[in-house]
Structure 1
Amino acid sequence: MAKTSPQMRDRMVAGAADMIRRRGLNATSVRELAKHAEAPLGSTYHYFPGGKSQLAVEAVRFADALAARKLAEELQAGPLPGLRAFVDMWRKVVIDSDFRAGCPVLAVSVEDSTDADDAPREAAAAAFRNWTALLADSLRAHGASEDDAEQTATLIVAAIEGTVAMCRAERSTRPLDQTVEKLEFLVRAVTDPGRG
């Protein structure tokens, strides 16, 4: 049993991230999550005594870690490969889900909390800061000024998150494809030490 406990818990966290990215936080119940993860309802409360809020926080952290790992790996080759990998990751999410899934971090950040617990929103803010910091560090390392790096990284995260939502609404990757060209142009502009 001890061997499967961490696996069951991880499966529930991944399941929560999946449900939140498809339905939003408020439309995701603990009962539905247990069913989605094929886990007894009681085990959900065993692993997550803080209930839905704790589960949402962990789902956001799970999504943050996945995206950050991919981003950090690709940023080793520079900000343009990192940007492209970030875009490709989200393109795959929307296409593989037939435009039914987006970003669980965004989903948590835009919904009103149903209770006084602000921990899920704080976890979402931390995820956005994490992705922005990774991008900004890479931009600085490749010649961008402090201000350009921070502003460009913020714009990249905001633009990608926004276009993922637009892709879902339009059922097309057109918004993502159009945005990435301009973001690449901007990355080149801020990292070119000879610009004018």
Structure 2
Amino acid sequence: MPDTPTRSQMVAGAAELLGRRGLRAASIRELAKSSGAPLGSTYHYFPDGKVQLVTEAVRFADELTVRTLAAALDNGPVAGLRAFVEMWRRVVVGSDFRAGCPVLAVSVQEPDEGVEEPLRSAAAAFERWTELLTQSLRDHGADAEHATRVATLIVAALEGTVAICRAQRSITALDVTAAALEDAIRAAIR
């Protein structure tokens, strides 16, 4: 199906709703409503329903993150980390601590039996983010094993920290985690 402004708006709205409510709490009706599109449009653009829309919303969130990381990583792994942190700061603070990562939201809830495409897309997203960070760390002097460990730590720590920030309604944990992750990067690229 060709991309249209309405379809793109529906995917972006679904990503936002997933980040706020999670996979199980987001019905197809709510996903359509969050984008301002009529319910009939949902099935027109996403004939496979919620599974297709959620999968595309995860891919949308992945692409946004990849673009953010890739652009910042041109200036090194610390710059990439800082951009990643700022992206999550904007999401969490901008939503008054109500939104988090739609990729994580899909990852932590078991999919219905036989409906695993959103989970596969989420796994692929985490892998892409980790690979981008790993490559940057390697490009800046980290050995392969250390680069992979630190990149995985960055993705896992920030995803978990976003959840902590939402629960505490404070950005403090993000600042503390970011500082510790910068230390880990500097230790890896010496």
Relative to the length of structure 1, the TM-score reads 0.94
Maintained 8 Å contact 1:12/1:34: yes
Conserved in 1, the CA contact under 8 Å of 2:14 and 2:32? no
- The one-letter amino acid paired with 1:19 is L
Which whole-Å CA distance do the structure 2 matches of 1:27 and 1:54 have between them? 16
Q: CA deviation at 1:32?
A: 1.5
1:87-146 deviation per Cα after TM superposition (whole angstroms, max 9, x unaligned): 011011100000000000000000011342110110000000000000000000000000
1:166 aligns with 164
Aligned to 2:104: 106
* Residue 154 (1) aligns with residue 152 (2): yes
Please name the residue that 1:143 is paired with.
141
Given that residues 80 and 184 in structure 1 are in contact (C-alpha distance below 8 angstroms), is that contact kept between their aligned partners in structure 2? Answer: yes
Match of 1:43 among 23, 41, 44: 41
Unaligned runs of 5+ in 2: none
Structure-1 separation of matches of 2:46 and 2:4: 12
Looking at structure 1, the residues matched to 183 and 34 of structure 2 have their Cα atoms a distance apart, in angstroms, of: 42
**TM-score with structure 2 length normalisation?**
0.97
- SS of match in other structure, 1:83: helix
Identity rate, percent: 60
After TM superposition, where is structure 1 displaced by more than 6 Å over at least 4 residues in a row? Answer: none
2:116 aligns to what?
118
Please report the RMSD computed on the Cα atoms of aligned residues, expressed in angstroms.
1.1
- Give the SS at the match of 2:4: helix
Preserved contact between residue 26 and residue 114 of structure 1 (Cα < 8 Å): no
CA distance, structure 2, for counterparts of residue 99 and residue 66 of structure 1: 20
Deviations 1:164-183 (A, max 9, x none): 00000000011111111111
Task: Please point out which of 62, 68, 71 is paired with 1:70.
Answer: 68
1:89 aligns with 2:84: no
Whole-angstrom CA distance in 1 between matches of 2:174 and 2:28: 32
Aligned length: 189
Aligned twin of 2:78: 80
Contiguous gaps of at least 5 residues in structure 1: none
The one-letter code matched in structure 2 to 1:100 is R
